[in-house]
Amino acid sequence: MGIEKISDDGDGKLEYLYPPHLLQNLDFNKSPAIFKPKISAVQPGEDWMVVRPLQKSDYDKGFLQLLGQLTNVGNVTRKQFDDRFNQMKQSGGYYVTVIEDKRISKIIGAATLTIEQKFIHNCSLRGRLEDVVVNDTYRGKQLGKLIVVTVSLLAQELGCYKMSLDCKDKLIKFYETLGYKLEAGNSNAMNMRFDAPS
């Protein structure tokens, strides 16, 4: 249960996006989130669940289909997935974290922490929470809280001075229970969208 032991079958399919040991020492007592019953990245509540970094093999475990519950993913080929995985791993700063149902080898929850390197705040780091999703059929098991708190604590562990996110109005209260706050004069999310590249 909890954090998966590091293993690789030699062909890179079990390659992690970032080192799994980073999740082992997260102190869930640092979070204002209330878990009933108590769970954490190491003890997610069921012996068939594991919280871990994204692996290349997650292409075959429904990771992209899970993201499809959140937004349009497109028709991503295995090569595209592997290439993007390699680019994210090589550049660093990407911490895609997943929850797997090991009984059926399916990804049932995910969230992404991206880290921006800054000149401000003494060349500090800023975290951004992105692409939070839990499979519809697993709702009610505190998995949304679990995955958000996990990546938020990971950002703190990695030295981020701040963690930011954009969310829909209906989710503000949820994120507030996890320690996020609307900042007066700084609570607007604005976007500029571009045409998709051909």
Question: So what's the pLDDT on residue 44?
Answer: 96
pLDDT digit string (tens) for 171-191? 999 999 999 999 888 878 778
Side chain identity at residue 97, one-letter code: T
- pTM above threshold 0.85: yes
Residue 10: exposure state from Cβ atoms within 10 A (0-12, 13-18, ≥19): exposed
Q: Does the residue 150 lie in any domain?
A: yes
Pick from 114, 98, 78: nearest CA to 23: 98
Let me know if residue 182 belongs to a domain: no
| 151: in domain | yes
CB 44 within 8 A of CB 153: no
Following CA atoms 36, 37, 40, 45 in sequence, which dihedral angle do they give, to the nearest 10 degrees?
-130
Q: Is 189 a member of any domain?
A: no
Within a domain: 34: yes
Enter the DSSP assignment of 55.
Answer: B
Number of domains present in the structure of the chain = 1
Does residue 183 lie in a domain region?
Answer: no
The range of the structural domain enclosing residue 151 comes to 20-176
SS3 156: helix
Find the CATH number of the domain harbouring 41. Answer: 3.40.630.30
39 in any annotated domain:
yes
User: 124-182: per-residue pLDDT in tens?
Assistant: 999 999 999 999 999 889 999 999 999 999 999 999 999 999 999 999 999 999 999 99
